[in-house]
Amino acid sequence: MSRFKTFPKGGIHPTDYKEATCNKEVQNASLTSTAIIPLSQHIGAPSECLVQKGDLVEEEQIIGKSGGFVSANIHSPVPGEVLEIKKIFLPNGMAVDAVVIEVKGEFKRLGKDADLRDWSGMSNEEISAKIAEMGIVGQGGATFPTHVKLSLPKGKSCETFIINAVECEPYLTSDHRIMLEKGSEVLEGIQIMQRLLSPLKTVIGIEANKMDAVELLQSLITEKGLDIEVMPLEVKYPQGAEKNLIKAITGREVPSGKLPLEVGVINANVGTCLSVYEALVLDKPVIERVVTVSGGAIKNPSNLKARIGTSFRSLIDDCGGFSEEPVKIIAGGPMMGFAVYDLDTPVTKGTSGILALTSKEIKAAKPTPCLSCGRCVSSCPMGLNPTKIFKYIDFNMTEEALEAGLMDCVECGSCSYMCPAHIPLVQGFRGGKKIIRKKSMKKAGQ
């Protein structure tokens, strides 16, 4: 039995493949001649485009204004001229408007020392406004606007503020490297958010396969005298899924259909904490992020700090290109990521990784009928019966799928990973959720 905490139901132990990049320092990615910046890089309303073809823009200029309460500003990651506004497809299949900028002009920060700003005298309203202005969103994959998450509704309070530093997806090590290389900055970002939330307790959850990060952060916290706990967690997938992490750390279960605040919890990813630090201390918007580029088909797997809008192709070239022809390119991790068919796909605020996988890593096989082995049930961290829900969707019985808990599925991929019949369970659940959302919108007259 592990001496570390974890969630009680299900979970799996896939090979993590992190050794290819976990010891590699973050390197700056090459600057490219053009940048493609999607106007929807977050959950919620797309940003409103503020530029048109022929406009000259400065680095860090707002080119997409927040389109509503749940939305986020988009800043130009480069100086240059707007070549066009065009439709592109994101890895999740969404078609969005994107601003194409040809790089020209002067970069504001390259090669210059940054002025450090003191946020301690700012009011909570000023801090919250700065986070919103800088376009910060959750960088663990959810891309929920951070200023919205940190705005507590009237009558609600945050008992436990959890920093999600688990990074349980195989291959990915960008958060791990951020903790090792920007530990002090991450902790100051946490302090800024503590000011807004006034939590009774703040916990950084880290899987026990990153004990160097656990020890470093603990040492910094002791040295600075901060009110933050570092909690090593059992190495088990999907430890970093929001509801599973809350269960592991607090023992509380978020009710079906409810948000973490229902049990007094607010979550933030470790990369988000760094962005909050950069916004308040460096006056810097989200124009770049750390991306792990890895997989068996990458010649020199690396962690790269890339400008938003940089193409996947450019980052792969920075890693020496392909060592062999990949059979699959994935945006994100192999368990919850999305297959990519166009290497000109741009990096967004939510791009944590780019994986080029070989046939040996994919182990593709044709689906066969369900064997009724029950492995999907025993692996589900939400206590669902995946094969039963899949059959309901397959027979267009969406109401029955809903009653069986379809919307509680976190799409972690544990069931698909364990299925010996290779049934595309997660793809089925995603399709089922889309059908249900369309029916709901039609019913509401939208």
Annotated binding-site residue numbers for [4Fe-4S] cluster: 370, 373, 376, 380, 409, 412, 415, 419
- CA distances, 69 to each of 46, 63, 268, 389, 441 (Å): 11, 18, 19, 34, 20
How far apart are alpha carbons 168 and 165 in whole angstroms?
A: 9
Type of residue numbered 269: N
Sheet strands (E) in 173-297: 201-207, 229-233, 265-269, 288-294
Question: What phi, psi does 194 have (nearest 5°)?
Answer: -60, -35
Helices (runs of H) and strands (runs of E) counted in the chain: 14, 17
How far apart are alpha carbons 377 and 400 in whole angstroms?
A: 17
Cite the annotated binding site by residue number: 370, 373, 376, 380, 409, 412, 415, 419
**Token reading at 320:** 């020496």
Cβ atoms < 10 Å from Cβ of 91: 21
How far apart are alpha carbons 173 and 314 in whole angstroms?
A: 19
Q: Pick the closest to residue 39 from 74, 67, 9, 71 (CA basis).
A: 74
Asked whether the beta carbons of 100 and 34 are under 8 A apart, the reply is yes
Q: Which residues pair with 162 in a beta bridge?
A: 203, 267
Type of residue numbered 268: A
